[in-house]
Amino acid sequence: MTVPPKKAFALRLDPALHAAIERAAAADLRSVNAEVEILLREALARRGVKLAPPEHRPRGRPPVSKDD
């Protein structure tokens, strides 16, 4: 199963907003990036914007191939 790469872009935030997101991410045991993505999905859902569910990305190290 191949997962398409995520879109990367620069985002400038007010330092206080970034600190608040960092605290929320730490409380949820997420990265700041994952927390921002969740917050954006929640905000869009409240506005009635329908999105496909996020692609499942396997966690951890990739499996070792038998060729190695």
Higher pLDDT, 5 or 18: 18
- Among residues 39, 54, 65, 45, which one has the least CA distance to residue 4? 54
Examine residue 56 and state whether it is found in any structural domain, yes or no: no
Contact 25, 31 (CB under 8 A): yes
Confidence of residue 3 (pLDDT cuts 50, 70, 90): low
Examine residue 8 and state whether it is found in any structural domain, yes or no: no
Residues of the domain holding 31 = 15-46
Examine residue 21 and state whether it is found in any structural domain, yes or no: yes
Residue 1 pLDDT > 70, yes or no?
Answer: no
The model scores a pTM over 0.85: no
* Separation between Cα atoms, residue 23 and residue 17, nearest integer Å: 10
pLDDT at position 35: 96
Examine residue 2 and state whether it is found in any structural domain, yes or no: no
pLDDT at position 65: 78
Domain count, the chain: 1
Examine residue 58 and state whether it is found in any structural domain, yes or no: no
pLDDT at position 62: 76
Cα 64 to Cα 15, 35, 57, 59, 60: the distances in Å are 41, 30, 17, 14, 12
